[in-house]
């Protein structure tokens, strides 16, 4: 549906493509085309004078004239020179963007396209250096070199990825290793005491060097490893516990 804000040329071309596949005649096109209009464009069509449409070509010219403000400005070959590969911008995305904009230029020679796409490559990059060693004579040769370079770069990335993963995993394991703080260890053992010779000293003075075992994370070790099955209710055990305390007080 055409609302009056899109490109009218693109809409007509799309409509003609669908109609040509079905073999519709020009007089029938004038009757079918209004069904693709909506909002402002539909209001414009209903305001046309009766019997003002005499042919399909004349109707298209009137349609273009009415919605000419929605037509995009035609792209020029010089506009392609402004497309540059910025820092940290992948080569693949730059090529895709350039070729997409190049399709908007009506008259563009292969030499102009090659000059524009070469000028946008980031200077002193790896691909820029490759182009200096092997100059592309046509746009197709340039695109072929681009494909080979991108494939080589992706293959190298796949080879380097496992090594990076192992290194990153080692950093994560080391980072997750928890070592007790020095203040917590020293706070429990700090203070002067008398040794066997009667001299005062600190426990930290006789501490052994830290080993790999001491660097491991602390693990919880339960005090009781076996449990007995209760044969009475908890209420009975509580009453017996209170009775034993009462008996001790009487003996005192």
Residue-wise pLDDT for 148-164, tens only, equals 888 888 887 777 766 55
Higher pLDDT, 7 or 239: 7
Question: Which of 173, 194, 221 is the last residue in one of the domains?
Answer: 173
Look at 205 and 15; give whichever has higher pLDDT.
15
Whether 159 maps to a domain, the answer reads yes
Structural domains of the chain, count: 2
Q: Does some domain include residue 246? A: no
Q: For the whole model, what pTM was predicted?
A: 0.45
Residue 117 lies in domain: 77-173
Min mean pLDDT across 19-28, 44-53, 206-215 is at: 206-215
Q: Are residues 92 and 149 in the same domain?
A: yes
Looking at the fold, whether 108 and 168 belong to one and the same domain comes out as: yes
Nearest Cα to Cα of residue 138 among 149, 126, 130, 146: 146
Confirm whether 194 is domain-assigned. no
The Cα 191–Cα 188 span in angstroms is 9
Q: Output 105 or 204, whichever has higher pLDDT.
A: 105
State which of 157, 173, 189 marks the end of a domain. 173
pLDDT value for 113: 87
- Looking at the domain assignment, is residue 247 inside a domain? no
| 86 and 58 fall within a common domain | no
């Amino acid at each position: 549906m055409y609302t009056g804000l899109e490109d009218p040329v693109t809409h007509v071309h799309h409509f003609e493509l669908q109609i040509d596949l079905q073999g519709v005649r020009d007089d029938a096109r004038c009757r079918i085309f209004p069904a693709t209009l909506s909002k402002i464009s539909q209001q414009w069509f209903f305001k046309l004078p009766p019997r003002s449409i005499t042919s399909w070509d004349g109707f298209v010219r009137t349609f273009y004239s009415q919605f000419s403000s929605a037509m995009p400005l035609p792209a020029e070959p010089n506009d392609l020179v402004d497309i540059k590969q910025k820092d940290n911008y992948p080569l693949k995305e730059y090529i895709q963007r350039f070729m997409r904009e190049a399709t908007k230029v009506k008259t563009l020679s292969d030499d102009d396209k090659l000059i524009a796409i070469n000028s946008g490559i980031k200077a002193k990059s790896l691909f820029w250096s490759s182009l200096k060693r092997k100059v592309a004579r046509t746009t197709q040769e340039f695109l072929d070199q681009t494909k080979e370079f991108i494939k080589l770069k992706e293959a190298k990335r796949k080879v380097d990825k496992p090594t990076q993963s192992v290194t990153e995993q080692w950093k994560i394991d080391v980072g997750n290793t928890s070592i007790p703080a020095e203040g917590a260890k020293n706070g429990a053992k700090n203070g002067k005491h008398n040794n066997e010779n009667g001299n005062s000293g600190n426990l930290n003075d006789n501490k052994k060097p830290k080993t790999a075992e001491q660097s491991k994370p602390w693990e919880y070790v339960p005090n009781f490893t076996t449990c007995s099955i209760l044969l009475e209710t908890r209420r009975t055990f509580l009453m017996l516990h209170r009775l034993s305390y009462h008996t001790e007080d009487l003996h005192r």
